[in-house]
Amino acid sequence: ITVACNEDMTAADLVGRFLLDAEGTRWVDGPLTQAARFGAICYLDEVVEARQDTTVVIHPLTDHRRNLPLDKKGELVEAHPDFQLVISYNPGYQSLMKDLKQSTKQRFAGFEFDYPGADVEREIIVGETGLDENTAAKLVQVADTARNLKGHGLAEGISTRLLVYAATLIGKGMEPAEAARMAMVVPLTDDSDIRDTLYHAIDTVFG
């Protein structure tokens, strides 16, 4: 069960609420409660976008208690043995106001994901789009140049997703250098100097 977190999300959006219907009021479980009851995986995507007073509701589920109090309903939901809670976020560029509390972080085991290796990334592009390996390798080469600029005028490097977008445009008949500029550079930065640097790298690789 996937939940796209945002700053307007409340604790009730996660655990549930009473709703009116033709027969009066009835309780409707939220996605977190559903997952805990039935043993699903609840995935909170970009959890730092939610307010901290919202995300604290996950705490009882993520320690030795493994339960979820539904205060409004007067019920204590014991988590199913198969229940799992997964959260994700991109560290490093969010503000201090959008970071996980230490008490929340320390309830999880962590995985750190980086860019794939060049050979793997080339295989991803070829597998996703059918682009030839030579052109895919050139896209990866441009991305590597951009990633070296991260922290030096560029907030974020070119993702594998953007490489796939560029490869898709090339597969539709667009000239490779133009596709790289449109899909890999323009969405990444508004800084004209950084763009010129990346445009030069594209022209060098595809020239």
Tens of pLDDT along 147-205?
988 777 777 889 999 999 999 999 999 999 999 999 999 998 888 999 999 999 999 99
Q: Where are the domains of the chain?
A: 2-105, 118-206
Alpha carbon separation from 125 to 139, 167, 170, 176, 206 (Å, rounded): 9, 7, 12, 14, 17
pLDDT tens digit sequence for 34-58: 999 999 999 999 999 988 888 899 9
* H-run or E-run covering 32: helix 31-38
pLDDT of residue 96: 52
Length of the chain: 207
Q: Which of 74, 66, 70, 91 is nearest to 16 (CA)?
A: 70
* Domain 2-105 indexed as CATH 3.30.750.24: no
